[in-house]
């Protein structure tokens, strides 16, 4: 194998090993300016996009045990990969597709699990990691807030009883 091709394979292998997710898309019809725009948007989501050769991705995917990507390796392919939040990257991709009507998502992989194009769309609909953490914190805090409220009511009841007892003693002392 040529040294140049081996270098590309090594780079592709490293990118796929380090990535938490990989999404393959058909970039046909995107001009250089649109591809640069998408690249910049994905950078904010800790993801990157690269045009890839299907045969090389097929070879690397087989080596890494991700042979399930095979059905998506037809036609022109761009690989979106990243180490950040997959939902953020999927949202960026979805929003870009709504604007430009390109690229078309073919298939994806998330930590070894194969995702269909519909699954990638579902990921885009999920709240971000920060929003999920906030929802979890709110869910965990709600019972504690109710407990504090109940304890405050009980404490207030004791105070009212003591105040009523004090007033009754004062009335008895005056009489």
Q: Identify the CATH number of the domain in which residue 16 sits.
A: 3.30.70.1730
What is the chain's pLDDT, residue by residue, as a tens digit (175 residues)?
A: 688 889 999 999 999 999 999 999 999 988 999 999 999 999 988 999 999 999 999 999 888 888 888 888 899 999 999 988 888 899 999 999 999 888 889 999 998 788 888 999 888 888 877 787 888 888 888 888 887 787 888 777 878 888 888 888 888 888 6
Do 53 and 112 lie in a common domain?
A: yes
Do 61 and 146 lie in a common domain?
A: no
d(CA 21, CA 161): 62
d(CA 19, CA 114): 14
* Number of domains composing the chain: 2
Q: 152 lies in which domain range?
A: 127-175
Give the global pTM. Answer: 0.71
Residue 82: name the closest of 93, 72, 97 by CA. Answer: 93
């Amino acid at each position: 194998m040529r040294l140049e091709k081996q270098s590309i394979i090594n780079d592709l292998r490293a990118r796929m090993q380090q990535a938490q997710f990989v999404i393959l898309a058909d970039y046909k019809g995107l001009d250089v300016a649109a591809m640069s725009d998408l690249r910049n948007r994905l950078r904010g989501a800790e993801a990157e996009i690269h045009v890839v050769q299907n045969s090389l991705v097929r070879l690397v995917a087989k080596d890494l045990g991700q042979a399930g990507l095979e059905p998506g390796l037809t036609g022109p392919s761009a690989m979106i990969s990243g180490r950040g939040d997959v939902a953020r990257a999927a949202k960026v991709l979805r929003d870009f597709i709504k604007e430009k009507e390109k690229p078309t998502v073919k298939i994806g992989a998330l930590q070894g699990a194969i995702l269909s194009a519909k699954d990638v769309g579902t990921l885009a609909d999920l709240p971000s990691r920060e929003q999920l953490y906030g929802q979890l914190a709110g869910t965990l805090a709600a019972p504690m807030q109710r407990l504090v409220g109940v304890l405050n009511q009980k404490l207030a009841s004791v105070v009212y009883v003591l105040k009523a007892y004090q007033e009754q003693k004062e009335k008895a002392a005056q009489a």
